[in-house]
Amino acid sequence: VTKRRRNLPPGPKPLPIIGNLKDIFQKDTHQWQHFASWKRKYGDLTYVEVFGKSMLILNSSKATTDLLERRSAIYSDRPDMIMVNDLMGWYWDFAHQKYSDWWRLHRKTFHTGFQPSVVSTYHDIQLRGMEHFLRNMLKDPEDFSGHIRHYTGSVSLASDALKKLVEAVGSGNYLVDVIPALKYVPAWFPGAKFKRLADEWSKDVFALRDVPFNRFKSDMEKNRAQPCFAKDILTKTEQAGQLDTKMEEVIKNCASVAYLAGADTTVGLIFSFFLAMVLHPDAQKRAQEELDRVIGRDRLPDFKDRPHLPYIEACLSEVLRWMPVTPLAVPHQTTQPDIYEGYHIPAGTVVIGNVWAILHNPEVYPDPEVFKPERFLLTEGDAPPHPINYAFGFGRRICPGRHFATNTAWLAIAATLSVYNISPLDKENLPKYECTEGAAS
């Protein structure tokens, strides 16, 4: 069937068999910028095919809202992700699970611990973590990146396993995710390097989930477990008479996801804030003036100060916009065929919301490359849409950890600026406005 006859959305012309494989990668350009460049040529939607698999790139907030939000009943599945789930063993991470009852049970369980009304119960832990972070910064400011990782709770095990996940998802080289048959290539086959790597990596992936949970279980048995998400949910489920092997697995999976999904992402957000401050000393000065005026110099900021610090809030919004941590969010997939603006969208289409393109749209955010917190200080109605609406994905799959993550980042921003200046070691050679490729940049 030709493209025209099927009335698919516009996109580059596919080649036989490989489809648009050559079009989707562009050397020396980030994937999200390359996809964004298609907007000029094809409009809000770009349709491509790779080895017969349909992909739809959404380059505007209108398209993500219309499809991923309003039609979320059929736009909330995930691609199969063979490499990541089956070969590397990440299937327990519900971020990758198919739109199913199993996923729903995970999402519901997770939500009980991270909904807005509950995240404030973590404030004390976050404040203690922040004080520790500030002391570490005083002792050894050059290792700021290590202190940020420690503050957000990511230890090296999570980081190693995650680095491999990001590599597998982000590189685009692991064709196994688009050609499922590759899964059955034996590991000794030349070129099957990914399978050997996957076997090696899956050990870390399971350790990441099982080691902390087994320790927690043994602490529970000895009545020594600290209050935490896992303890809370486990106790409540037990009291409701619903704790069986299935629920225990769900709780274990959710606890591990809570720990890893926030690791590299929240770290990336705080790194970008540090970079913004180095490159924009004026914004830093203005933020510090606000902190001095509102809080004074005798105490550290607390969550109750948040509504009174609009410029700090604007800095957080602007970091989320300026360098989105997950520039292409996480791909969704359709479960049914659909028609949108007269175009046919096949069932099983991978749908990518281009967060970066939305948050760098010059018509909505003028001079998008410039770090300008002031853009969010305009009165309601004049201010552009808040980046939190896009930076954490879309619809039924939107990041359930976003309230927790933004609290963690807000506190890091307010606390750091209340006691320290962030400046470059070498004023002649400023760091560049640059970010890494990958699922979490």
Distance of CA 281 to the CA centre of its chain: 27
Shortest separation between residue 331's beta carbon and ligand HEM, angstroms: 8
433 CB-side CA count, 13 A: 12
Rounded-to-integer distance, Cα 115 and Cα 120, Å: 9
Integer Cα distance of 87 and 147 in angstroms? 33
Residue 323 found at the interface with ligand HEM (CB under 6 A): no
Residue number, 42 or 102, with CB nearest to ligand HEM: 102
Q: Which residue, among 40, 12, 29, 45, has the nearest Cα to 363 in the 3D structure?
A: 40
Applying CB under 6 A, does 262 fall inside the site for ligand HEM?
Answer: yes
**Residue 402 Cβ vs ligand HEM, minimum distance, rounded to whole Å:** 6
- Closest to ligand HEM by CB, 99 or 194: 99
Q: Does 330 bind ligand HEM (CB under 6 A)?
A: yes
For 219-236, b/e burial (b = at least 16 CB within 10 A) is eeeeeebeebbbbebbee
Site for ligand HEM, residues 3 to 32, rule: CB under 6 A: none
Write the binding mask 268 to 297 for ligand HEM: x where contact by CB under 6 A, - elsewhere.
-x----------------------------
Q: Which stretch binds ligand HEM (CB under 6 A): 120-128, 173-181, 256-264, 335-343?
A: 256-264
- Number of shown-chain residues binding ligand HEM (CB under 6 A): 28
The residue from 88, 257, 357, 415 that contacts ligand HEM (CB under 6 A) is 257
Q: Using CB under 6 A as the criterion, what x/- string covers residues 154-183 for binding ligand HEM?
A: ------------------------------
Name which of 11 and 400 has its Cβ closer to ligand HEM. Answer: 400
Least distance CB 154 / ligand HEM (angstroms): 10
**Annotated binding residue 399:** yes
Q: How far is the CB of 298 from ligand HEM (least distance, A)?
A: 31
Annotated binding site for heme: 399
Give the interface with ligand HEM as residue ranges (CB under 6 A). 94-95, 107, 110, 114, 257-258, 261-262, 265-266, 269, 325-326, 329-330, 332, 391-394, 397-401, 404-405
